[in-house]
Structure 1
Amino acid sequence: MNSVTNIQNPLKDERNLLRRLYVSRIGLVLESILVGLASGLVVALFRLALVKADGIRFTWYTFLRNQIHQGRWQPLVLQIGLYSLLGLILGWMSIWRPMARGSGIPQLKGYFEGRFQFRWFSELLVKIVSGILGIGAGLSLGREGPSVQIGSYVGMGLLSRSSRPEVEKKFLITAGASAGLAAAFNAPLAGVLFALEELHRVFSPLLLTCTLAASMTADIMAGLFFGMHPVFSFRALNLLPIKLYPWLMLLGIVSAFGADLFKRALYRVQDLYKASKLPRIIWPILPLIASIPLGLYYFDVTGGGHPLIESLTESPRAIVILGTLFIIKLMFTALSYGVGTAGGIFLPLLVCGALLGTLVGQVLSAFGFIDQSYVLNFLILGMAAFFTAVVKAPVTGAVLILEMCGNFNHFGGLMLVCLVAYVSSDMLVSEPVYEVLLRRIAATTEPVPEKTGQNL
């Protein structure tokens, strides 16, 4: 009798273990859907606020140009005063909650590596408010990095009273991060791949399932506000002939050099701010004041730059103008990012990639190597190549551009140009941007201790 009982008990224990494991995994996926819905809603509202801010800024600069043309300088003086005050507010926010600075992706990587802790509620508020104020005022920063960190904060908030193991909590926080990127760009698959390729650099079936569930629900939530169409509305693309693929290798190489310049500018400007001995609280005033003449004469380089990418498809730009816009956008992005206010580099670097790709395409067209109708292909492929060389995440770069453009006809060209850009970047010994930024943050910023019950 005892032998029968001894046999049954292990079997019963095994069944209970399998049942708990099954329930745990199903529960984790369901919670990922909840995280995706909440993250998608918050990021969609953040994105909507930025769209409204862009419209207000465009209307204001139209009015300001008219006033200056009529010899009335009072509105310009008023804007300088308001931007100085805004810079002090943004500077104070970056000091009060340093983990909410910049894009937030390096901080999130550091969190997963156990280097940092977050105060999710107050940092979430700072990220949203400072992101809307800074990007909306015209700083050359993107919404994607803040959206990734906002999604992770939302996940932390939903898990603040959860009793799940730490590993499962990190899965759900990662799901929130991927949902943030999906909602920011209408790119659910890129959100999943970014979590696997950049945030963790490991593959796990359970992690894949959680991020996929969160990204898809966040994309649907964002679709309620912005529709389910791709972010960029490009005209129909001509299929690039295979005989032109060698020129894609040239584009990949040029993009690697451009991306290396982009990263060096980011690091150099950060060093210049620190060496200036100016109080950090006034740092944001410098790019805000610089944005005023740019807003008056080169409006498209201010803000994230989404309208600039789409304007490149409307009419051909002269080669000199493309080169000028590339340098201005690159330098203004470095100047804006270096101050540490909330804002990412995804969208600005995509703008730089689009400008560089268009520039290469226009040069090739001018010399008769390609037809003018293929310049749009080079614009799109330039974005993917530049992203790959800066972030060193080729699969994410290729899929992100595919989803943002909504055209899969150039998949082969995308993979080729991303591969060449990645290899060329390696040959230049150009490290992934977020790895370098993480080291810089870890070396200069005290980790924020997390105290039980005091995470505000």
Structure 2
Amino acid sequence: MTDNTQGTPAPERLQPSGLVRRFLSRDKTPVSVLFLAALVGLAAGLIATLFEIAVHWVSEQRTEWLRDVISSVLPLWLAAFLISALLASVGYYLVHRFAPEAAGSGIPEIEGAMDDIRPVRWWRVLPVKFIGGLGALGSGMVLGREGPSVQMGGNIGRMVSDTFRLKDKEGRHALLASGAAGGLAAAFNAPLAGIMFVVEEMRPQFRYSLISIKCVVISAIVANIVFRSIQGQHAVITMPQYDAPVLKSLWLFLLLGMFFGVFGVIFNRLVTLAQDVFDRIHRNERRRYILTGTLLGGCFGLLLLYLPELTGGGITLIPSATHGEYSISLLLILFLARVATTLLCFGSGAPGGIFAPMLALGTLFGTFFGSIAQLIFPDLGIEPGMFAIAGMGALFAATVRAPITGVLLVIEMTNNYHLILPLIITTLGATMLAQVLGGQPIYSQLLRRKMDKEKIAQREQSEVVNT
């Protein structure tokens, strides 16, 4: 029997093999590139998950070492200083000796590579970022593992392209972006945020095409499946599940977003100032660079003993703040103190990210704002934890300038889907005000700053040669 309108036997069109042939004839995306994107997601998810496990292991071992030292000849404070200093020195040494591009979060390097203005030397970045990141984060410094996961994921994308000798520029670009998406999806257990981060935050560098979108989605899905297979499917941050706030309280979320819009611009400026200060201190000399980082790491070893709230990425601090374990005044003090410690650690050039520290800052000030709002407007029935979640998305949006990514990231990390409307309002207010004030996305600033520094260094070197 034949379908005269199509000229094709009806049973064949309904059979799976016929549908597959029709799909392949219409879809021009090379299947090999999609397969490589899945391979990139598998490797990116694996390395991001192993990095998280290794960071926790090093932190636990550091505590065990301190317990063993209690009964030895060294005082506890001295042992804490030396252990963290040693761990930090490993990270600083590896970065300066083998892969300077592994300093900081590494996300600007991936953005530069997507724009074909930065090289991707995966053979040296991957081991340095992994091992050096373990040292820096294991020392207790205020750094996150998300930026390193994105950079390592992007480098895996380029490694796969080189290994399989992929010549197509569009395919190589797609795999690089896929690795970044997979790294973030696995680091935060947030596949939608991983996809949107590449599409939205990296929009000046990301080449929008059907193959690129497909590869990014496939990589993020596979990477997240790898993470959940190893670490479980629970949310990264354990928080109460809040109901949607009353509509007449939404203006408070807009006000919070405006506060973060102003702070986001100031914070980005402070980050670059902190980097300038450290540049003047070590002057890119290896001994001074390593000594500065070693002393800084040792100081955070002391803080781990006496003020642990001021150390680490801050993810474990978020549930404590939202459960009301800190007073209003202490929330503000912790916020200001962690701003200082974040600037010290990230500005020093340690191989670590700033995602998690920013989320902790957003939580602290959001909870502070929500506690005050609860006292002033008790009839609204609002809870400070609502503003903590909104604050996480707002600060991310104001600094990174990616509001949709901020909304998705916070929702996936906290599993609070009922707060999507106040989250959108808060992040939109933060983004718009930051833009009005002339602020620039932090990773674009860092990339431009690094490029300017290298141009100045090349110019000075050429002048020396000429003279």
**TM-score of the two chains, using structure 1 as the length reference:** 0.87
Aligned: 1:136 with 2:141: no
Picking from 105, 114, 117, the partner of 1:103 is: 105
Q: Which deviates more, 165-174 or 344-353?
A: 165-174
Q: Does 1:309 align with 2:311?
A: no
Cα offsets for 1:102-160 (capped at 9, x unmatched): 10000111111122112111110000001111101101000111000111111222221
Q: How many residues align?
A: 426
Q: Deviations over 1:19-72 (max 9, x none)?
A: 8995753222221111111111111111111122333445566788xx5xx998
Structure 1 counterpart of 2:12:
none
* SS, match of residue 283 in structure 1: helix
* Cα pair distance change 1:277/1:223, threshold 3 Å: closer
- Paired AA for residue 47 in structure 1: E
Whole-angstrom distance in 1 between the partners of 2:67 and 2:378: 40
Pairing 1:200–2:203 present: yes
The partner residue of 2:187 within 184, 197, 200 is 184
Aligned to 1:430: 439
How many Å apart are 1:271 and its aligned residue? 1.1
Cα 1:353–1:19 change in 2 (3 A) is: closer
The CA distance in 2 between the partners of 1:370 and 1:441, in whole Å, is 51
Offset, 1:370: 6.1
Contact 2:66 / 2:80 at 8 angstroms: preserved in 1? no
1:212 is aligned, of 194, 208, 217, to 217
Aligned counterpart in structure 2 of residue 55 of structure 1, from 54, 60, 66? 60
Separation of aligned partners in 1, 2:58 and 2:379: 39
Rounded to whole Å, the distance in 2 between the matches of 1:358 and 1:165 is: 49
Q: Measure the CA separation in 2 of the matches of 1:61 and 1:376.
A: 35
Question: 1:94 deviation in Å?
Answer: 1.9
Residue type matched to 2:136 in 1?
G
1:317-357 deviation digits (Å, cap 9, x = unpaired): 21111011111111111111112121110000000000010
Distance 1:116 1:400, change over 3 A: same
How far off is 1:304 after superposition? Answer: 0.9
Read off the aligned partner of 1:395 and give its amino acid letter.
I
Partner of 2:156: 154
Contact residue 87 and residue 285 of structure 1 kept, 8 A: yes
In 1, Cα distance between equivalents of 2:135 and 2:383: 38
Q: Which residue of 2 aligns with 1:263?
A: 268
Quick one: which of 157, 165, 169 aligns to 2:168? 165
Secondary structure at the counterpart of residue 30 of structure 2: helix
User: 1: distance between equivalents of 2:65 and 2:254?
Assistant: 43
TM superposition shift of 1:414:
1.1
What letter is aligned with 2:51? F
> Structure 1 pair 72/237, CA: closer, same or farther in 2 (3 Å)?
farther
Q: Is the 8 A contact 1:87 1:282 kept in 2?
A: no
1:186-233 CA distance string (max 9 Å, x none): 100111111111223454332111111110010000001111121111
Whole-angstrom CA distance in 2 between matches of 1:344 and 1:397: 16
1:238 paired with 2:239, answer: no
User: Any residues of structure 2 matched to 1:272-311 within 5 Å, and which?
Assistant: 272-277=277-282, 279-311=288-320
For 1:445 and 1:158, the matched residues in 2 are separated by 28
Distance between the aligned counterparts of 1:58 and 1:205, measured in 2? 49
Runs of 4+ deviating beyond 6 Å = 18-21, 61-64
Corresponding letter in the other structure for 2:341: F
CA distance in 1 between partners of 2:412 and 2:309 (Å)? 23
For the 8 Å contact 2:88–2:139, the answer to whether it is kept is: no
Range 161-170 or range 302-311, more displaced? 161-170
Matches within 5 A, 1:248-397: 248-277=253-282, 279-369=288-378, 374-397=383-406
Identity of aligned residues (%): 31
Contact 1:238 1:374 in 2 (8 A): no
Greater shift in the superposed pair: 97-106 or 279-288: 279-288
- Conserved in 2, the CA contact under 8 Å of 1:257 and 1:425? yes
| CA positional deviation for 1:417 | 0.7
Question: How far apart are residue 255 of structure 1 and its match?
Answer: 1.3
Distance 2:66 2:397 in 1: 34
Paired residue secondary structure (1:410): helix
Distance 1:282 1:443, change over 3 A: farther
Tell me the distance in 1 between the aligned counterparts of 2:426 and 2:394: 6
> Structure 1 117/446 Cα, relative in aligned 2: closer, same or farther at 3 Å?
farther
Structure-2 change in CA distance of 1:446 and 1:136 (3 Å): farther
- Relative contact order, higher structure (CA 8 A, sep 6+): 1
Match of 1:32 in 2: 37
Go from structure 1 to structure 2 and tell me whether the alpha carbon gap of 1:411 and 1:84 turns closer, same or farther (over 3 Å shift).
closer
Q: Say if 1:374 and 1:82 are closer, same or farther in 2 by CA, change over 3 A.
A: closer
Tell me if the contact between 1:54 and 1:303 (Cα under 8 Å) persists in the aligned partners: no
- Residues 193/312 of structure 1: CA separation in 2 closer, same or farther (3 Å cut): same
CA distance 1:111–1:374, change in 2 (3 Å): same
Tell me the amino acid that sits aligned with residue 192 of structure 1: I
Equivalent position of 1:3 in the other structure: none
Name the structure 2 match of 1:454: none
Does the 8 Å CA contact 2:161/2:172 hold for their aligned counterparts? Answer: yes
CA contact (8 A) 1:238 1:373 kept: no
2:177–2:216 CA contact under 8 A, matched in 1: yes
Q: Which amino acid aligns with 1:157?
A: M
- 1:444–1:94: structure 2 CA closer, same or farther, 3 Å change rule? farther
8 Å CA contact 1:364–1:370 kept in 2: the answer is no
1:122 to 124, 127, 149: 124
In the TM superposition, what is the alpha-carbon distance from 1:315 to its structure 2 partner? 2.8
